């Protein structure tokens, strides 16, 4: 587990196949959209992490990482600029980053 961060956190990883950044979701899956992302603190978070790590054990995702989250209503967003970039895609290729490329996503 990564270094201790205070406050609410979400879980980020890469899918093994396409390397795409994904977030652990409330229904126990992974999604590139933070809308579905699970978050928590303390014991809730520990429990989430146990579930998330199962995907790593199944060779579906790699590099599980806990990241600081900002909560708005019942949705979590990454706090740090690096993770914001990961959620949004390259700021300089909004035309070609994954943020708009649903086709590529499904391929």
User: Which residues of the shown chain bind another protein in the complex (CB under 8 A)?
Assistant: 14, 16-21, 56, 59, 62-63, 79-82, 85-86, 89-93, 96-98, 101, 104
- Cβ-based nearer residue to another protein, 2 or 74: 2
Measured CA to CA, the distance from residue 37 to residue 48 in angstroms comes to 11
Tell me the two tokens of residue 6: 């205070």
Measured from the CB atom, the residue of 74 and 92 that comes closer to another protein is 92
CB atoms within 10 A of CB 28: 12
Give whichever of 43 and 81 is closer to another protein, judged by the CB atom: 81
Cα-trace Rg, the chain? 13
């Amino acid at each position: 587990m990564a270094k201790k961060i205070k406050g609410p956190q979400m879980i980020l990883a890469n899918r093994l196949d396409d390397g795409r950044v994904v977030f652990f979701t409330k229904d126990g899956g992974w999604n590139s959209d933070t809308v579905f992302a699970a978050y928590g603190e303390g014991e809730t978070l520990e429990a989430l992490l146990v579930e998330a790590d199962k995907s790593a054990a199944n060779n579906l995702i790699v590099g599980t990482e806990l990241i600081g989250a900002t909560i708005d209503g019942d949705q979590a967003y990454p706090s740090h600029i690096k993770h914001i970039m990961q959620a949004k895609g390259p700021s300089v290729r909004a035309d070609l980053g994954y943020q708009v490329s649903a086709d590529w996503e499904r391929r």
